[in-house]
A and B are shown apart, each in its own frame.
Chain A
Amino acid sequence: MKMRELIKKPATGILLAILIGFVAGAVVLAVAGFNPLEAYGALFRGVFSKPKYIAQVIIKSTPIILTGISFVVAFKSGLFNIGGEGQYIMGALTAVIVGGKLELPPGLHFVVVIIMAMIMSGLLGAFVGVLKTRFGVHEVISCVMLNWIMLYLSNFLITTEWLKKPGTEASIEANTSAWSVVLNSWKTSDAGMEQLANSNSPMAEVLLKTDFNYGILVAVLIAVGVYFLYKNTTKGYELRAVGINQHASQLAGISVNKNVILSMAISAAIAGLAGALTITGVMPHRVTQLATHEGYGFAGISVALIGGCSPIGSIFSGLFYSMLTYGSASIQSEVGAASEIMDIVIGVIIYMIAISSLFIMLANRKKTAGCAAGKRKAEKHG
């Protein structure tokens, strides 16, 4: 009885899905002639054996935690925001422009950059919301279109004299005053770098060899903020109500259209923040020519789904996702198996989450046989 109740909990479903994902990955590795235990050992060492590696995982998790939360916000209102890629580009592009063209004191400059980036990508999201509510254009379609429009717009703008760094295929860099790197003033001065190089503390190595930055704190703040928005505020209640039942919301006096637009705007602003924090936090602090999307937006969808579509869950699933993708490089270098094995593992995890009703079905089948199970099923869906 207790076991069955446990299996029916959503978190258990996700943990089971993760387990099955790793088993499936092991099978693929074994069939391809690799030792799965060695491969997973390499993955583990590639993530935890040095503070530097852990720092890299945290740095790389920042944007996908945010695009994950971005997806969650839209999802709670019944919207499928597949436009994270384009919104991310909008945020990064705005950050480069505001960060590279303006001269402001350190700290303030950073704040102005991320606020402007969030406003610009928020407007992009609001546009998607207006397209949906006023013109009946499905958000998946407009988002796919805007992803490509933003990609080409970014590629175009950074070839113009206004934004191009001469002699490169990339944009100008954001000024150091806009950077969110930890110990920025040390790392941008010779004396500071010398101090770090002479220090023996493990933290110094992390600071020297990685782009350790404050982005993760911002991501956690956003997660907590979104959590309280849904838990404690009327607005959050409205945003969720629209996702659960539009007709009931309308009857209760909640404007469906306004909340759809607002939800898309918040969602897009958070994805844009991810782009902006990459520019302020990570070398080379600029936008480069892209042949195709970088995948932060799509990774965010995976992060959100593994995180159980919760903002706090996205922090953990973002770290988890980042661990798998960062550690996968060690699988390749140590064992020789392709790092893409982790895409397969993550894909299987999400597939299992999609069919997690399977677990509940199995739990029910054990409990009762035949018509009783059928009756319960009919009750549940009827």
Chain B
Amino acid sequence: MDNIGIIISITLMYATPLILAALGGIISELSGITNIGIEGMMVIGAFAGAAVGYFSGNPWIGLLCAAGAGGLLALMHAIACVKFNANQIISGVALNLIGLGLSLFLSRIFFDGATQTLPVPSKLPKISLGGGISLDSTVIIALCLVVFVWFYLYRMRGGLRLRAIGEHPAAADTLGINVYLFRYLAVIVSGLLAGMGGAAMSLAVVSSFTPIVISGHGYIALAAVIFGRWNPVGSSLACILFGFAQALVVILGGGEIAIPSQILAMLPYILTIAVLMLLKGKTAAPRASGVPYIKGSR
């Protein structure tokens, strides 16, 4: 029984950074802005979280600053994509570089030339539920946010508008919705969430920032967005699948079972491709995703 509890705990622990980033990806994509820069926003969030957590001694302040750092980077993306009609993927690639470069540059300044931060004095607290299950507080936050984002998108007026903008911005504009404002906010919120996702890694899963603490998590989160068909619940389940595979690697990595850990680590990626093949293109991408909106264009 305890073993199952441990597996659940580890699965959710690894899934949480992905879930937070995926929620950000969903909000941005639904508004019609592809945000491939989520990776860079996670990196800078992971750094800001760990650095502020170290100097302030309070991981919660770290988490807030992480969200802020991700949000600032996202603002750059929003300016490029909304204001200047930039190619959204190119802008995202740029932000990934800037996010990583800035994090390492600042890390070397504040931590004596090291590209990693010192461990934070206290990590975000864990909450024990009995039965071997003990969850990071970020897990609880992430799960609450999944419910909230779902409720917002499918049960509230703002969510309906957001989705309308991603499908047909010109129609939404005609009905008096401020397309540009919504897109700005959506991209910034995606940065806040991705930043928190990064900090969930550096303040809860481990206790410091290293150059590889976020390595490809942003891209995996984006894959989960598509895997989950732009639905917060579906995408979170996809993230949990990735988390589960990582948990299996950790638990079976001891070598009791004769499956090489590398093969095990490959499974979720193979599974993702297999599932997407079975869905056969029945993905519900927002129609205007990736397309700049220019007033008056048809």
Are A and B part of the same complex?
A: yes
Q: CB-CB < 8 A to A223: which residues of B?
A: none
A343 at the interface (CB under 8 A from B): yes
CA A319 to CA B59, docked complex, whole Å: 43
A144-B223, A291-B212, A346-B97 known; A305-B277 Cβ under 8 A: no
Please determine whether A347 and B101 come into contact, CB atoms closer than 8 angstroms. Answer: yes
Please determine whether B216 and A144 come into contact, CB atoms closer than 8 angstroms. Answer: yes
Which residue of the partner chain B has the closest CB to A336? B113
A381 at the interface (CB under 8 A from B): yes
Please determine whether B296 and A378 come into contact, CB atoms closer than 8 angstroms. Answer: yes
Q: CB-CB < 8 A to B101: which residues of A?
A: 340-344, 346-347
Set B85, B216, B222: member contacting A292, Cβ < 8 A: B216
Which of B49-57, B104-112, B161-169, B190-198 forms part of the interface with chain A? B104-112
Total residues of chain B contacting the partner, CB 8 A: 57
A293-B216, A354-B80 known; A341-B105 Cβ under 8 A: yes
Residues from 249 to 302 in A contacting B, C-beta threshold 8 Å: 291-293, 298, 301-302
A197 to chain B, nearest CB (A): 36
Which of B19-27, B61-69, B120-128, B268-276 forms part of the interface with chain A? B268-276
Please determine whether B215 and A343 come into contact, CB atoms closer than 8 angstroms. Answer: no
Q: CB-CB < 8 A to A153: which residues of B?
A: 262, 266
B89 to chain A, nearest CB (A): 6
Please determine whether B280 and A135 come into contact, CB atoms closer than 8 angstroms. Answer: yes
Q: CB-CB < 8 A to B220: which residues of A?
A: 144
Please determine whether A152 and B98 come into contact, CB atoms closer than 8 angstroms. Answer: no
Please determine whether B273 and A343 come into contact, CB atoms closer than 8 angstroms. Answer: no
A115 to chain B, nearest CB (A): 27
Residues from 340 to 360 in A contacting B, C-beta threshold 8 Å: 340-344, 346-351, 353-355, 357-358
Set A298, A305, A342, A357: member contacting B84, Cβ < 8 A: A357
CA A353 to CA B92, docked complex, whole Å: 12
Please determine whether B105 and A340 come into contact, CB atoms closer than 8 angstroms. Answer: yes
Please determine whether A144 and B219 come into contact, CB atoms closer than 8 angstroms. Answer: yes
A380 to chain B, nearest CB (A): 9
CA A355 to CA B276, docked complex, whole Å: 33
A28-B105, A159-B260, A338-B104 known; A292-B215 Cβ under 8 A: yes
A363 to chain B, nearest CB (A): 14
CA A347 to CA B40, docked complex, whole Å: 11
Q: CB-CB < 8 A to A148: which residues of B?
A: 216, 265-266, 269
Q: CB-CB < 8 A to B90: which residues of A?
A: 305, 350, 353-354
Please determine whether A80 and B262 come into contact, CB atoms closer than 8 angstroms. Answer: no
Secondary structure at chain A's binding surface: helix, strand, loop or mixed?
helix
Which residue of the partner chain B has the closest CB to A24? B98
A15 at the interface (CB under 8 A from B): no
B252 at the interface (CB under 8 A from A): no
Please determine whether B269 and A355 come into contact, CB atoms closer than 8 angstroms. Answer: no
B287 to chain A, nearest CB (A): 14
Set A145, A292, A344, A358: member contacting B98, Cβ < 8 A: A344
CA A325 to CA B105, docked complex, whole Å: 14
B264 to chain A, nearest CB (A): 9
Please determine whether A347 and B94 come into contact, CB atoms closer than 8 angstroms. Answer: yes
Please determine whether B266 and A355 come into contact, CB atoms closer than 8 angstroms. Answer: no
Please determine whether B104 and A351 come into contact, CB atoms closer than 8 angstroms. Answer: no
B153 at the interface (CB under 8 A from A): no
Q: CB-CB < 8 A to B215: which residues of A?
A: 291-293
B-contact 0/1 string along A293-328, CB 8 Å cutoff: 100001001100100000000000000000000000
CA A273 to CA B263, docked complex, whole Å: 25
CA A140 to CA B282, docked complex, whole Å: 16
CA A80 to CA B90, docked complex, whole Å: 10
B145 at the interface (CB under 8 A from A): no
A224 to chain B, nearest CB (A): 26
Most chain B beta-carbon neighbours within 10 Å: one of A159, A342, A347, A382: A347
Please determine whether B104 and A145 come into contact, CB atoms closer than 8 angstroms. Answer: no
Q: CB-CB < 8 A to B279: which residues of A?
A: 136
B259 to chain A, nearest CB (A): 11
A33 to chain B, nearest CB (A): 8
Please determine whether A355 and B86 come into contact, CB atoms closer than 8 angstroms. Answer: yes
Which residue of the partner chain B has the closest CB to A156? B262
A191 at the interface (CB under 8 A from B): no
Q: CB-CB < 8 A to A291: which residues of B?
A: 212, 215
Which residue of the partner chain B has the closest CB to A349? B94
B178 at the interface (CB under 8 A from A): no
A37 at the interface (CB under 8 A from B): no
Q: CB-CB < 8 A to A1: which residues of B?
A: none
B194 to chain A, nearest CB (A): 16
Please determine whether B281 and A135 come into contact, CB atoms closer than 8 angstroms. Answer: yes
CA A152 to CA B270, docked complex, whole Å: 11
CA A140 to CA B277, docked complex, whole Å: 14
B294 at the interface (CB under 8 A from A): yes
Q: CB-CB < 8 A to A142: which residues of B?
A: 273, 276
A180 at the interface (CB under 8 A from B): no
A-contact 0/1 string along B164-200, CB 8 Å cutoff: 0000000000000000000000000000000000000
Q: Nearest 10 pairs between A and B by C-beta?
A: A136-B281, A343-B101, A347-B97, A347-B98, A351-B94, A156-B262, A350-B94, A338-B108, A340-B104, A292-B215
Name 16 interchain pairs, CB-CB below 8 A, sorted by A. Answer: A131-B276, A135-B280, A135-B281, A136-B283, A138-B283, A153-B266, A301-B93, A305-B90, A336-B113, A338-B105, A341-B105, A342-B101, A348-B94, A348-B98, A353-B90, A382-B298
Residues of B within 8 A of A (CB): 36, 76, 79-80, 84-87, 89-91, 93-102, 104-105, 107-109, 113, 115, 212, 215-216, 219-220, 222-223, 226-227, 260, 262-263, 265-266, 269-270, 272-273, 276-277, 279-283, 294, 296-298
9 new A-B contacts at CB < 8 Å, known A82-B219, A148-B266, A351-B95: A135-B277, A141-B222, A149-B266, A152-B263, A156-B263, A338-B115, A343-B104, A347-B101, A354-B94
